[in-house]
Amino acid sequence: MNRYIFALIVLSVNFFTACATNKITGRSQAMLVSDDAAAQQSYQAYSQLLSQAAQKRALDDDPYQLTRVQSIAKPLIVQAIKLRPEAQGWRWEVHVLKSNEVNAWCMAGGKMAVYTGLLQKIQPTDDELAAVMGHEISHALLSHQAEKISRAQMQKAGITAGVLAGALFGVNLGGMASLADSVATLGLQLPNSREAESEADKVGIELAAKAGFNPEAAVTLWQKMIKVSGGGTPEWLSTHPNPESRIAAMQVMARNLMPVYEAARKKP
């Protein structure tokens, strides 16, 4: 019996000490896993992914596309470092991967990729591509990968705590672990993901505007995204905000950021 009590105490202490306030958003985040640890995982995964893509001749097969993507990423990274100075030490890198998927991402530590499916199906302008990349860079700046890993670990630990508590009172809850995990995913992971996406929208459009890219392009980008995807999933059961709600929020943000964009364009 004592070992169950001890285990519950350890899990409780971990829950209460595993949160940190994000310096950019001011939001409290689950941070069982540090940004450095998440970055190290990213570096390893990114290296393996690039190696596999190269073997399949799916890595940077169009010099023009690569040059374009890297040239757009450069000023965004400059603004990212201004917003979060420790990002200066990240091993920033961006490549183009040959894939039909409409996607782009930025791992913890600044490892990025843009898929040819996005470039070909969306056919983004430079401003629109900057909106995509600014959004993805913001996920890394806001520690969303470390948070996601941390919340997944806390979710599993919480289920373990429930099973231990049941054992403490003579109730076997082991068979409910799978169901509890599914419920926890809907109740814990998805709301955080929607919040993370909204945060990345806000910070990403600001990065793009400060880098001299038109913030209104974020609106036209997502209009194209909706057209290509054929619509969005219900907001209450999605890892992304409702597309129409997202566009409406971006229209307001873009309007407010136009003076920032215009000032950036005037700089030599």
Report residue 210 as tokens: 């400060």
Cα separation values, 91 from 42, 136, 167, 263, Å? 11, 16, 47, 29
Distance CA 112, CA 135 (A): 12
C-beta of residue 38 within 8 angstroms of C-beta of residue 109? yes
93 is catalytic: no
Residue of 93, 136, 147, 216 marked active site: 136
Residue 128 CB coordination number (10 Å): 25
C-beta of residue 107 within 8 angstroms of C-beta of residue 138? no
Residue 113 is given by DSSP the state E
Catalytic residues: 136
